[in-house]
């Protein structure tokens, strides 16, 4: 499928008068329409709720849009809990899916009456002894081990993943939690990341539904919600077929009807914790070409770097690139598109065929709405960019300002040095 930016060159030129590149731009209309489709796809389940994975795009304006669409939040740290609390997410609006969790984060999540997802069997005792006791509602994260396959294709390797309880620990864990007076139980698992397949959620759902039935038979614990977590992916590459969320919802419904309903568990609520699927395609990194270099290869240097988008440098991830205004020109130039870090892996693309790039061209890097800005860092003393929101009415709002040197130096005490 052809990948088109959600913003026009004309609009970028207009934004340029107020906000310099680079910046991340988000598409409110796209975010809202997509959230609506997810809700429709799971409307068959009475208790369905999406808990947006805050770590993907931790911006209060984005969280407010999703709140307005009926989503809750999935938090993984103290600051994410604090932000969610400030925005008015409380109690069952919050999942706290953390791992290797500090005691004070458990305590704060408990104070917010969040649904706490335990990553490990030992966290039961940890919460009791070091985090002021167990709450009334607890979710447990399951790791079945081995390889996770969809038919014969290996999707991921849970046996090597640090998360979750084994099956035996899970059964024993629910037994203990019930004994200790926990009232509401959930079951959670995250087995594969960025799946571009309508089969991921239905396959995972089947495993979790069967496990929930087994838990009920072996311990008498009745699971109230099953959290399919994140992992539904997006087509970063133009040759990938996008997921069909309606087919995914229908696949989960079938497994639900086949496994949970006959076991008398037809009232179980389905939760999701999607990050990438909710935001990925609805954000882009807007940059300009500022240097060209002709040595052993052809290089184009942008005014952005891996600090603004780490995925290509970190995972060799593909992000589609559009040279704005040249969409209809032939892709007859082979470029490495680089950032400015003193790190040779700071390349947004390697050997990418693109139209001829001229200095000052607007370059849009696609699909940066999730795990984009959020993974930013300050290596080489580089500063993080602004985040802008393209609103439904076409206006542009700055939803996070760019960092300044003052922000960068804020954690030093210069008094001694400057004397
Ligand atoms: C990262 C994460 C998610 C979101 O994952 P996506 O791939 O962005 O959908 C959801 N739940 C947990 C526990 C996570 O760690």
Distance 53 CA to ligand 1 centre (A): 6
Please enumerate in sequence order all residues whose Cβ is within 8 A of that of 298, keeping only pairs 6 or more positions apart, or say none: 292, 333, 334, 335, 336
Residue-wise pLDDT for 305-339, tens only, equals: 999 999 999 999 999 999 999 999 999 999 999 99
Distance 186 CA to ligand 1 centre (A): 17
Decide whether any atom of ligand 1 lies within 6 Å of the 370 Cβ.
yes
Q: Which residue has the tokens 């994140």?
A: 230
Domains of the chain: 42-274 (3.20.20.10), 281-409 (2.40.37.10)
What number of other Cβ atoms are within 10 A of residue 112's Cβ? 19
Residue-wise pLDDT for 231-281, tens only, equals: 999 999 999 999 999 999 999 999 999 999 999 999 999 999 999 999 999
Q: Is 53 helix (H, G, I), strand (E, B) or coil?
A: strand
- Looking at residues 115-136, what average pLDDT do you find? 97
Atom of ligand 1 nearest to the CA of 56: 8
Average pLDDT across the chain, whole number: 97
pLDDT at 412 over 70: yes
In this prediction, residue 416 carries a pLDDT of 67
In this prediction, residue 2 carries a pLDDT of 85
Quote the strand ranges of 65-172, DSSP E: 72-75, 94-97, 115-118, 137-141, 148-150, 153-156
Give the residue with greater pLDDT, 316 vs 152. 316
In this prediction, residue 392 carries a pLDDT of 97
Distance 118 CA to ligand 1 centre (A): 15
- Residue 26 to residue 90: CA distance in whole angstroms: 26
pLDDT at 385 over 80: yes
Decide whether any atom of ligand 1 lies within 6 Å of the 280 Cβ.
no
Residue-wise pLDDT for 29-41, tens only, equals: 999 999 999 999 9
Residue-wise pLDDT for 51-63, tens only, equals: 999 999 999 999 9
- For ligand 1, pick from 49, 140, 187, 231 the residue to mutate: most ligand atoms within 8 Å of CB: 231
Decide whether any atom of ligand 1 lies within 6 Å of the 57 Cβ.
no
- For ligand 1, pick from 55, 191, 232 the residue to mutate: most ligand atoms within 8 Å of CB: 55
In this prediction, residue 152 carries a pLDDT of 87
Distance 322 CA to ligand 1 centre (A): 28
């Amino acid at each position: 499928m052809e990948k088109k930016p959600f913003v026009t060159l004309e609009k970028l030129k207009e934004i340029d008068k107020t906000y310099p590149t680079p910046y991340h731009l988000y598409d409110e209309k796209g975010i809202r329409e997509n959230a609506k489709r997810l809700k429709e796809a799971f409307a068959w389940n009475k208790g369905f709720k999406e808990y947006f994975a805050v770590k993907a795009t931790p911006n209060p304006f984005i969280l407010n849009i999703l709140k307005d669409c009926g989503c809750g939040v999935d938090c993984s740290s103290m600051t994410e809990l604090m932000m969610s609390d400030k925005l008015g997410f409380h109690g069952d609006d919050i999942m706290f899916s953390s791992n290797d969790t500090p005691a004070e984060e458990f305590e704060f999540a408990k104070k917010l009456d969040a649904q706490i997802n335990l990553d490990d069997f030992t966290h039961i005792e940890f919460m009791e002894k070091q985090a002021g006791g167990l709450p009334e509602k607890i979710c447990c994260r399951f790791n079945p081990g081995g390889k996770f396959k969809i038919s014969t294709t290996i999707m991921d390797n849970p046996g090597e993943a640090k998360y979750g309880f084994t099956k035996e620990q899970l059964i024993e864990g629910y037994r203990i939690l019930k004994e200790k007076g926990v009232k509401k139980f959930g079951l959670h698992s995250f087995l594969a990341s960025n799946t571009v397949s309508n089969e991921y959620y239905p396959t995972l759902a089947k495993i979790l539904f069967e496990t929930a039935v087994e838990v009920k038979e072996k311990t008498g614990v009745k699971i109230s919600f099953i959290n399919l977590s994140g992992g539904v992916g997006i087509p970063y590459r133009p040759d990938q077929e996008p997921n069909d969320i309606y087919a995914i919802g229908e696949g989960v419904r079938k497994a639900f009807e086949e496994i949970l309903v006959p076991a008398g568990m037809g009232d179980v609520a389905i939760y999701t914790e999607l990050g990438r699927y909710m935001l990925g395609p609805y954000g882009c990194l807007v940059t300009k070409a500022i240097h060209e270099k002709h040595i052993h290869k052809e290089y184009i240097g942008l005014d952005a770097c891996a600090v603004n988008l780490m995925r290509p440098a970190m995972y060799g991830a593909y992000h589609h690139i559009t040279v704005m205004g040249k969409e209809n020109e032939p892709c007859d130039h082979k470029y490495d598109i680089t950032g400015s870090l003193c790190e040779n892996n700071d390349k947004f693309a390697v050997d990418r065929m693109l139209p001829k790039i001229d200095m000052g061209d607007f370059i849009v890097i696609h699909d940066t709405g999730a795990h984009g800005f959020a993974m930013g860092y300050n290596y080489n003393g580089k500063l993080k960019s602004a985040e802008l929101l393209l609103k439904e009415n076409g206006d542009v709002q700055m939803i996070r300002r760019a960092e300044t040197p003052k922000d960068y130096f804020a954690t030093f005490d210069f008094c001694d040095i400057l004397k």
